[in-house]
Amino acid sequence: MTRYSINGTEFASNSPLFQAALEGAYKNRIRPICLCVEPGLPMYIAHLEKNFVVKRMPDTGASHGPGCESYEAPPGLSGRGEVDGQAIENNDQGTTNLKLAFSLRHNNPAEKENESTQKTTAKTSGTRLTLRGLLHYLWDESRLSHWSPEMQGKRSWFAVRSALMEAVESKETKSASLKEILYIPEVFDKAKRNDIVSRRLHMLSPIMGPGKSGKKLMLVVGEMDSISAATFGFALRLKHMPDFPLVMDADLKKSFEKVFLGTQNLWDYIPDSHQVVIATFVIDDKGIPAVEEMCVMCTTPEWLPVDNEIEHQLIEALVEQQRSFQKQLRYNLPPDKPIATAVLTDCENAPLALYIDIDDLVGRWASTVAINEVVKSNSIQTWMWVPRDGVQPDLPPKKGMPSQPRQRARPADEEQAEQTTLGDSAGVSEPTVVGAAQPGGSDDVLSDWGEPAVPAAFQPKRGGNVSVMPDPSPRLAEVTPIRPSLPDVSLIPFKPGFGLTGPVAPVAPSETIEPQP
């Protein structure tokens, strides 16, 4: 539990006295101090509709302790680094200006073409958020990309929506505040239907009515229910919005199937997964809402976004093992740009960036070379899983817990061979590091627990030196050799067509889709 100092008095964030203390501090313009690190970090207080919330100062997330509620992994580990400070600008008044790469005006085809060109430019420079970039930003800001064991069983659509609604506060776009233009469906309740419809009409009124219809667009974020044929083209239905289907024309539907085939397959494949939709839509003069552009994101049952099945396996394992971590998101970045999958925040040497190198297994994600480049520039320690090698390295144990190795399948001679290549940034298997670890010291303490020693890379930093894994010495610059042996297919439960034995699914371009002009 995070502790704060307000005017010299210490409070735990779950203390019943904390709200009153925040209210007093808000009125007297006193900054609470987060005590997660010495000598503490100043915070600010936001006054939301019902309560007061402590928020970290802009760009200080990575300065907080990894166990702190305000900790945020360094932006360079995800797609956030590319857009921070450009597409996402925090100002001194506590508001954030967002620059969007998509239009909130219904344009004629000529304008649209011009805009597409600009969008391509924006995509590469990170100066504007694509629809997916915005959705990932909202997921990070609402901490839906974060996970800790106490969240188990508590993430309903009500909780997801509430978190998103809070995240939308104080976010501005060029044309309006995000709060005014983003609709997130309420939990549908038949008994409260009339109230829900009235609130929705009120929310959508700025884009309806004489002189407005068919011109301005709004955004919607919700969970995909279905896309089905309708008399007017296709109907996109979102969960909790059964009475308000959005029209998709035939071209948009066709592009959607092409662009998001991979995401759709993943959604079908992962049990209880969710497919989150973000779309811009217009309401015509007959009151019919029609989708203009859209993007979808597949999440685990816990609403943690995943890009592919291997990433899902790791996230599922982390949730099962009751770990605390922050899922890293791509924002505008295409699939071939390397990002960390997650950052573990509960181990002895947290934060620890978790990477997966699946390039040669699936053939459309970041290359081994690119991943090694990005790992080298990391300022925090790194864990790497190379699925083509067949074995997932053990995860470092939780702080204060003994190591619990999951797999011990490697032949001894292979392990021996690897001990000579320490520094190869492929998955650091435990025997490799134990072989190279110095005798005595904390290894003895760990062996008292009757468990194998924790890999050196996962042990706490010693002597105040910043130790970075992998070691940035020249030998680490070597590219991980691609082993000639075939991957152990049995470890990867892909069905044919997912890239192992069958044809590789078409690459889903990272961007949003819109109707053909």
Q: Which residues lie near Zn ion (CB under 5 A)?
A: 34, 36, 64, 68, 70
Structure tokens at 8: 């010299």
Q: How far is the CB of 41 from Zn ion (least distance, A)?
A: 6
Buried b vs exposed e over 311-329: b needs ≥16 C-beta within 10 Å? bbbbbbebbeeebbbbbbb
Query: Measured from the CB atom, is 34 or 144 closer to Zn ion?
Result: 34
- Helix 131-141 vs helix 157-168: angle between axes, to the nearest 10 degrees? 100
Q: What is the 3-state secondary structure (H, E, C) of 326-351?
A: EECCCCCCCCCCCCCCEEECCECCCC
Q: How far is the CB of 379 from Zn ion (least distance, A)?
A: 18
Query: Measured from the CB atom, is 36 or 386 closer to Zn ion?
Result: 36
Query: Measured from the CB atom, is 4 or 137 closer to Zn ion?
Result: 4
Q: How far is the CB of 35 from Zn ion (least distance, A)?
A: 7
Q: How far is the CB of 99 from Zn ion (least distance, A)?
A: 29
Q: How far is the CB of 126 from Zn ion (least distance, A)?
A: 27
Taken in order 416, 420, 424, 428, the sign of the CA dihedral is positive
Among candidate residues 343, 320, 330, 251, the one with its CA nearest the CA of residue 290: 251
Structure tokens at 116: 């597409």
Query: Measured from the CB atom, is 63 or 127 closer to Zn ion?
Result: 63
Among candidate residues 252, 254, 261, the one with its CA nearest the CA of residue 281: 252
Length of the chain measured in residues: 517
Q: Distance (Å, rounded) from C-alpha 328 to C-alpha 380? A: 14
Taken in order 470, 124, 254, 212, the sign of the CA dihedral is positive
Q: How far is the CB of 346 from Zn ion (least distance, A)?
A: 15
Query: Measured from the CB atom, is 62 or 476 closer to Zn ion?
Result: 62
Q: How far is the CB of 326 from Zn ion (least distance, A)?
A: 14
Q: Distance (Å, rounded) from C-alpha 501 to C-alpha 79? A: 30
Query: Measured from the CB atom, is 68 or 184 closer to Zn ion?
Result: 68
Query: Measured from the CB atom, is 380 or 453 closer to Zn ion?
Result: 380
Q: How far is the CB of 72 from Zn ion (least distance, A)?
A: 10
Q: How far is the CB of 60 from Zn ion (least distance, A)?
A: 9
Query: Measured from the CB atom, is 302 or 346 closer to Zn ion?
Result: 346
CA of residue 460 relative to chain centroid, distance: 26
Strand partners, 26: none
Query: Measured from the CB atom, is 68 or 468 closer to Zn ion?
Result: 68
Strand partners, 238: 224
Query: Measured from the CB atom, is 55 or 239 closer to Zn ion?
Result: 55
User: How many Cβ atoms are within 10 Å of 286's Cβ, its own excluded?
Assistant: 7
Q: How far is the CB of 345 from Zn ion (least distance, A)?
A: 12
Q: Using CA atoms in the order 230, 232, 238, 239, what is the torsion angle rounded to 10 degrees?
A: -40
Q: Distance (Å, rounded) from C-alpha 2 to C-alpha 12? A: 6
Query: Measured from the CB atom, is 71 or 267 closer to Zn ion?
Result: 71
Contacts of 293 (CB under 8 A, 6+ apart): 102, 131, 279, 280, 512, 513, 514
Contacts of 448 (CB under 8 A, 6+ apart): none
Q: How far is the CB of 15 from Zn ion (least distance, A)?
A: 16
Q: Using CA atoms in the order 13, 136, 106, 198, what is the torsion angle rounded to 10 degrees?
A: -40
Q: Distance (Å, rounded) from C-alpha 283 to C-alpha 183? A: 13
